[in-house]
Amino acid sequence: MTPLPLDEARALLLADLSPVEPETRPIGHCGRRTAAADVVAARDQPPWPVSAMDGYAVRAQDARSGAALTVIGEAPAGAPFGGIVTAGTAVRIATGGVVPNGAERIVVQEIVEAQGERIRILGEPGPASFVRPAGGDFRRGEILIRAGQVLTPARLGLAAAANLDMLAVRRRPRVAVLPSGDELREPGSPLRSGCIVNSAGYALAELIAGWGGEPVLHPILPDDFRRCEEALRAADLTSDIIVPLGGASVGDRDVLRPLIRSLGARTVFERIAVQPGKPCWHARFADRRLVLGLPGNPASAFVCAHLLLKPLLFALLGRTGAEPPLFAALTAALPEGGSREVYWRARLGADRDGHLWVAPDARLDSSLQAPLAAANALVRRLPHAPAAAAGETVETLLIGSIESGVPG
């Protein structure tokens, strides 16, 4: 198959997908999960008018400098005053306390002189009522969180404030990560000549967890066809997504793709026109399990996971809204592009005026992991893009947190 442009490959990857099924979970277990249904307020917030300040609840007519009032009770937070505020009376009230019937204003304590059960307003109260109206935050029946939105800490707090103890969320899609290669060893192993450490599998597992999936990291698969077949048939491959790492080139020892096909998967595409990441491939089983093959090269796998695996997981989670690209000024020139789309590892930051800058790493070699660890962005260069000078604006994909300050 001819290598596909990234946009075409991604469209095929995301075609005909439905989100995974929902599950109902206690609100304390829903952090960073994806809402499977609109979250609707079950109450008004606040349910009653409440005080925004410590002070005294009074009638509007009595909120004037020089007024002398009789204190007839108090309204601390959580213990409303049961009587009525009438002319010439006041109720001592705390922030968050329910404003008693008859009162329309809160006079802050800083301008009040207390004398036993009497108070005198010494200063001018001003125009602010310091009363938070009932429903001022949200109303019963109002949609607070849309289906497909991530339950961030603030949104989780909002759902709790609406008195909801259970939420419908998408279950975490299971993602089987299958590193392969006779040269691979687990971290901490003794390394003989020619061996390398299985780093890609661990990086991918962390990305998957951060994107809302449930990673399942499998033991390293051998390059031998028969032994690899035995290992695959013995493995639990019931995950929503199967991610083979490596084993997809054209050598005699690259056996993963034909083995996956022999298990019944239908190949959708075999190559993408991207650097790094040309060996990416995609297949599907009849039972809707998805296969996304990524390069065995750790840096290539990491980059392609952002380009393909992340949007695939978001689609299965029903996540709404595509992540928009950011456009930043280059700090250094980039050469003319070749026949493939290229993603340069880079540092993206903002200066004190809020202008975005991006510093691409000159080391495009995909075998290097140190530039990737230092990067928080990828600079996208389309095929045959003309050379770009320092200061020109380029498209970037954020893969970390934006730096502040000038590039160093």
CATH 3.40.630.150 assigned to domain 326-404? The reply is no
Under DSSP, the state recorded for 27 is G
Per-residue pLDDT tens digits for 24-63: 999 999 999 999 999 999 999 999 999 999 999 999 999 9
Per-residue pLDDT tens digits for 275-316: 998 899 999 999 999 999 999 899 999 999 999 999 999 999
Per-residue pLDDT, averaged over 16-28, amounts to 97
Residue 251 scores a pLDDT above 80: no
Write the CB contacts of 208 (distance below 8 Å, at least 6 apart in sequence).
175, 177, 214, 215, 309, 313
pLDDT band, very low/low/confident/very high, at 244 (cuts 50, 70, 90): very high
Domain 6-20+171-316: homologous superfamily in CATH: MoaB/Mog-like domain (3.40.980.10)
Confirm if 269 and 191 have CB atoms less than 8 A apart.
Answer: no
Residue 223 scores a pLDDT above 90: no
End-to-end, the C-alpha distance of the chain in Å comes to 43
**What span, in angstroms and rounded, lies between the C-alpha atoms of 295 and 278?**
8
pTM score: 0.90
Residue 284, CA atoms < 13 Å, CB-side half-sphere:
11
Residue 253 scores a pLDDT above 60: no
- The DSSP secondary structure of 142-210, one letter per residue, reads -EEE-TT-B--HHHHHHHHHTT--EEEEEPPPEEEEEEB-TTEE-TT----TT-EE--HHHHHHHHHHH
Per-residue pLDDT, averaged over 12-18, amounts to 96
CA nearest 39: which of 142, 137, 170? 142
Per-residue pLDDT, averaged over 312-339, amounts to 93
CATH 3.90.105.10 assigned to domain 22-43+146-170? The reply is yes
Confirm if 93 and 51 have CB atoms less than 8 A apart.
Answer: yes
CATH 2.170.190.11 positions along the chain are 50-132
Residue whose structure tokens are 């995974």: 20
CATH 3.90.105.10 positions along the chain are 22-43+146-170
The CATH number of 50-132 is which of 3.30.420.40, 3.30.930.10, 2.40.50.140, 2.170.190.11? Answer: 2.170.190.11
Per-residue pLDDT tens digits for 100-147: 999 999 999 999 999 989 999 999 999 999 999 999 999 999 999 999
pLDDT at residue 300, as a whole number: 93
Residue whose structure tokens are 């698969």: 221
Per-residue pLDDT, averaged over 12-33, amounts to 97
Least confident of 102-111, 236-245, 363-372: 363-372
